[in-house]
Amino acid sequence: MRAITYSRYGGPDVLELTELPTPKVGPDSVLVRVKAASVNPVDWKVRQGYLDAIMDVEFPVVPGWDVAGVVERVGLDTPELKVGDEVFGYVRKDWVQGGTFAELVAAPVRTLARKPASLSFEEAAAIPLAGLTAYQTIQRAGVSAGQTVLVHAAAGGVGGFAVQIARALGARVIGTASERNHDHLRELGAEPVAYGDGLVDRVRALAPDGVDVILDYGGTDAVAQAPQLLAAGGTIASIVDAKARDELGGHYVWVRPSTADLEALADLVAAGTVRVEVAQVFDLADAAAAHEASASGHVRGKVVVRV
């Protein structure tokens, strides 16, 4: 099969289009014919070696954790899925090696769910990691109807999902973003505020009594400013700063594969409550350019690779 691989840590230039054997399929896994995969910031961070201290890596690595495709073969005990099912998923395993930037990927059934019929494979591939991250932080923080939620980096891939999910739960959402993305946040249902000096005052002007929940997806000084912004009894959940948990008693979240959570996201998409934004689509051979586009910070929505 064709696959993108790298045999050492480094920049996008270490990515190569190669031929690899078809992956073996374990008892609780299925073989997925990949139609599309998407790029997340963690993909190029792994490629650069930033996760070497916490995850075993076996070279050559096939990058990518997000996937959408069709089940081609099933394992010995996979009653959840059958050959021909269209699926999407967050195929993160316990080590880094057999990723989704390939024609075929062996995926544990716990990492997959059926693809929403209304979405293209490219759109479905844009959901898993970002959508699950948003969904799981919102669940962990206990967001509910009537609350005021502050979403940092609200125009990013995770933040955009979080705004929509929180609004679907009946929360009021304030979102931080650069001014060029403020109209976009309004379309998603958030009240935008600009980054930078004076952020606390700008948020307090909208929520004088403070916010009930802060969701930190990369805001500058988000944890440091949280005590000034949280209402009494409020909480913070962060995916970037463990101090949210260790110093403020909130939550530090590392997204997990979950069929149930993927199904919940699929239901939200099917209902039209959550929309998916694809920024750019690249061919598999252009994976290096896809990584560069994702890392540039100049795209809104997900960068997707078509296989």
pLDDT tens readout for residues 232-248? 999 999 999 999 999 99
Nearest to 55 by CA among 106, 5, 92: 92
Other CB atoms closer than 10 Å to residue 113's CB: what's the count?
27
Q: Which two tokens stand for residue 148?
A: 């005021």
Mean model confidence pLDDT for the chain: 96
Site of tokens 């350019």: 289
CA–CA separation, 178 and 185 (whole Å): 10
pLDDT attached to residue 301: 85
CA–CA separation, 269 and 209 (whole Å): 33
The answer to whether 252 and 141 are in contact (CB under 8 A) is no
CA–CA separation, 273 and 271 (whole Å): 5
Cα 195 to chain centroid, rounded: 22
Rg of the chain in Å (alpha carbons): 19
pLDDT attached to residue 296: 83
The answer to whether 224 and 239 are in contact (CB under 8 A) is no
Give 251-280 pLDDT, tens digit per residue. 999 999 999 999 999 999 999 999 999 999
Site of tokens 């530090």: 252
